[in-house]
Structure 1
Amino acid sequence: MLRAIPDAFDRGKLAEVDGRLDVITADEHVDIRLAIESGSRAWGFPSPDSDYDCRFLFVRRAEDYLSPWQKRDVIETPLIDELDVNGWELGKALKLLLKGNAVVIEWLMSPIVYRGDVSFRDGMLASAQRHTDRVAIARHYLHLGERQRNTYFADHKHVALKKLFYSLRPAAALRWLRLHPDARIAPMHFPTLLDECEPPAEVQKIAGELIARKAVTRELGAGPLPDPIRVFIDAEFETAHQHFAKRPNRLSTEAKADAEAFFRTMLGERG
């Protein structure tokens, strides 16, 4: 079984996550096949007060899938004491994965794992590597990055500098995909992603300083988007509009068949 928890993790919060996952398993009658950390802690730029963002993938009982009254394909729990625990049903996750949704792919790549099955995670990652359209993934990051850019920095006013990462990370992912034309999946861990996309030195320096400050303080303060970051982000978004302009490919019959076979295997393992 998978379990990868950093030494710096708050053991009390870890126990709370484990406890909530146990309650969900019992109350919802689901099999949680993978539970990971998905937020800034997994991306590699946490603050001391960052939420614990646990995300999980689950399989329901066979009789639940056979009922005409289908249960929801998400399980949501309230945010309490910095603890955010939510999950997606396997069928929903597979469909989104094959459409190029980078969120579920990042979940599969998270370096922080609360619990999980190796064959489940590796099987889904293999499907992503075989079938996910890299253009669809790129356009996911482009839409995400531009939305964050326009929301927080469009008017050049002072805003919380921690918001910078939510535009910079998609821009770095787009650059990484462009520089690795044979790859479909960019690294989730932001410092690794930034190193491998080889940004201008000034961008690397500013990002590194902000990550170091963010690790020890609850607030980075406010300010305008630094010029080197602004130029980098805007250039990568503009380049992505041209480089990833073609429409994503239609989902192939083979991809659907592979996903269905994987789903049936996981349901069979559930018993």
Structure 2
Amino acid sequence: MTILQGDAIPPAVRSDIERRLAAVETNEGVRLLLTVESGSRAWGFPSPDSDYDVRFIYVRPRDWYLSLTLGRDVVEAPIVDDIDLSGWDIRKALGLLLKSNAVVSEWIESPIRYRPDDEIVADLAAFADSVIDARSLAWHYASLGRNAADRWLDGDGAVPVKKYFYALRPALVIRWLRREGGGRPPMNLQALVDAVGLPDGLADDVAALVAAKRRSNERSNTARLPALDALIREELARADEVQGGTVDPRSRKRAEALFLHLVNT
């Protein structure tokens, strides 16, 4: 995976985030396996005032998992200076992947890493590829898109640019799933645009919208783009066209093997 530098994450912010991640390891007694950006900066359409949505997957020492009392499987830190930092235990992450969870899949695909991946992440990615159900993903993104487009898509008034993207990206994912027939879609918006074969005019509309969001704050409105509205409306309505896959009965055993390998090393 690419570790983006430059203007994706300002150096001072990156240093602060890396310091906070090190503090999580020390204070929680965990080993971080995957540390990524998961929000609009990783999606490719940040605003100047966008938060930093730092997410991670971690593993605890073996004996922690042997307790009669199940411990909390999430680590969360207070939001300070627009840095929102939280993570999931590897056991939780694997369980969610078995259910075709889109969030874990997106973390694995994030183009912004705060640390090099643990070697197990390549195995997690391969496992995610093997268990993902395209229809479940399509329904998930259709729900996200419809919630984001609630009330404004059928009107003609200005809309917060953030809501535009929160409907557009799910629509493009559904288009990708329809065309590709399965697999895990790209997380980044531009990668989606490049992959789904949009007409030049629509691709230009998306680029203009990204540029507008980079200049404005999270709550700024933007004028409507009728062709883009039509694309969102059409793709959100076509989620049921995405075909589901066959569940491999060996998947749970593979997940158990990955988990045991981690906690025993």
Deviates more, 1:2-11 or 1:141-150: 2-11
Equivalent position of 1:264 in the other structure? 260
How do 1:1-271 residues align onto structure 2 when only pairs under 5 Å count?
Answer: 4-8=3-7, 9-150=9-150, 153=153, 156-181=156-181, 183-218=182-217, 221-223=220-222, 225-241=224-240, 243-244=241-242, 251-269=247-265
Give the secondary structure class of the aligned counterpart of 1:88. Answer: strand
Q: How many residues align?
A: 264
RMSD, matched Cα: 2.1
Distance 1:149 1:131, change over 3 A: same
Q: Which amino acid aligns with 1:73?
A: D
Preserved contact between residue 105 and residue 128 of structure 1 (Cα < 8 Å):
yes
Distance 1:253 1:240 in 2: 26
Q: Closer, same or farther in 2 for the Cα pair 1:67/1:35, shift >3 Å?
A: same
How far apart are 1:158 and its partner, in Å?
A: 3.1
Q: Which moved more, 1:50-59 or 1:158-167?
A: 158-167
1:239, CA displacement in angstroms?
1.6
Q: Which amino acid counterpart does residue 205 of structure 1 have in structure 2? A: D
Please report the TM-score for the alignment, with normalisation by the length of structure 2: 0.92
Q: SS of 2:105's equivalent?
A: helix
Mapped partners of 2:225, 2:76: distance in 1: 37
> What TM-score results when the alignment is normalised by the length of structure 1?
0.90
Q: Would the alpha carbon gap of residues 3 and 188 (structure 1) be closer, same or farther in structure 2, given more than 3 Å must change?
A: closer
CA distance in 2 between partners of 1:202 and 1:3 (Å):
29
- Alpha carbons of structure 1 residues 3 and 44: separation in structure 2 relative to 1, 3 Å: closer
**Segment drifting more, 169-178 vs 60-69:** 60-69
> Which residue identity is paired with 2:194?
D
1:217 Cα deviation from its structure 2 partner: 3.5
User: For the residues of structure 2 that align with 1:122 and 1:148, how far apart are their CA atoms?
Assistant: 32
- Which whole-Å CA distance do the structure 2 matches of 1:81 and 1:258 have between them? 40
For structure 1, the 5+ residue unaligned runs are: none
**Equivalent position SS for 2:143:** helix
- Percent of residue pairs identical: 36
2:49/2:218 contact within 8 Å kept: no
Greater CA deviation, 68-77 or 114-123?
114-123
Equivalent-residue separation in structure 2 for 1:87 and 1:56 (angstroms): 4
Q: Which runs of 5+ in 2 are unaligned?
A: none
Query: Per-residue CA shift, 1:124-145, capped at 9, x if unaligned?
Result: 1100111221211222111111
